[in-house]
Amino acid sequence: MSTTVMMKRIAEASPRFKARMAGVFQLLEALTAGFGQVIVLDRLVVAGNAAATAANILGHERLFWLGFASLLIGVAFHIAWALLMYELLKPVNRSLSLLAAFVILVGCAIQALTGLFYLAPLLILGGGSSLSAFTTEQLQALALMFLKLNQYAYNIELVFYGLWCVLTGYLIFRSNFLPRILGVLLAISGLGYVTYLYPPLAYHLFLPYLAVAAALGEIPLELWLIVMGVNAQRWKEQASAAEG
């Protein structure tokens, strides 16, 4: 096979391959970030009970570290996913896809910073004599408070993620190479996440509305990207039309 033919094949495979990888990174992000921010915390945090939470964290220190690491790896997957979606959707509208990429980069920076508050309880509870100016009960209360701050910081990330979903949903809707319904569903789930602007409203709507919207918005897109990729022919048509 000559180099030209090979290069051509790679170029042909590229949009579909990018789409599949985007789906894979989306799945990996959901698994790792979900494990860190949801599963580990659900297992260890006892709402309103600082002493029980502290005992759980110290009793499962390794799991807690794993949750922290998983959270950060999730941010890396998130950035890779967002970059691939930017590349895929650039032919639809260059400015809007750049806006979506910038919005999610801000979101990812905040997602990474939540790690600081996630980790703080370990420093506070395992600080030993250097923290003896506080009573044990006070330190336990501080640890629980930092986990609440982690939740608040995560809420901010969700707002930017929601905006990204709305923009990306619109771009998918306007594309010729992905089913329009996937865009509509993603945009609806994005609007749900935007309610985290006012967290009491989001908590109120979470079950069933936000949870259902998120599942409907993200799972079909993820599966479509992994299994079907994009229509490579149409992607190329739209890309060359955009370059005019």
Partner 1 sequence: MIAAGNHSFCTRAVQSRSVAGARTMSDTISSVPPPMARITGVVYLLYFLTAVSGELFIRGIIVSGDPAATATNILAHERLFRLSAAVGLIATALYIAVTVLFYGLFKPVNKTVALLAAFFSLVGCAIQAFGSLFRVAPLVVLEGSPYLSVFKVDQLQTVALMSIKLNVQATYIYLVFFGLFNLLIGYLIFKSTFLPRILGVLMALSGLGWLTFLSPSLANYLLTYIEVLGIIAEASLMLWLLVKGVNVQRWKEQSSAAGWRS
Q: Contact positions toward partner 1, by CB under 8 A?
A: 48-50, 94-95, 98-99, 102-103, 105-106, 109-110, 113, 135, 137-138, 140-141, 144-145, 148-149, 152-153, 156, 159-160, 163, 197-200, 242-244
Question: Is 19 or 50 the residue whose CB approaches partner 1 more closely?
Answer: 50
Helices (H) and strands (E) in the chain, counts: 10, 0
CB of 18 to partner 1, least distance (A): 20
CA-to-CA dists, residue 170 to 44, 99, 221, angstroms: 38, 12, 13
Report in angstroms how near the CB of residue 149 gets to partner 1 at its nearest: 6
d(CA 226, CA 193): 24
Nearer to partner 1, 27 or 167 (CB): 167
Sign of the CA dihedral running 67, 73, 75, 80: negative
Helix (H) or strand (E) holding 213: helix 211-227
| Cβ-based nearer residue to partner 1, 63 or 141 | 141
Query: Do residues 23 and 225 touch, judged by C-beta distance below 8 A?
Result: yes
| Closest CB 1 distance from partner 1, rounded Å | 33
Q: How far is the CB of 142 from partner 1 (least distance, A)?
A: 9
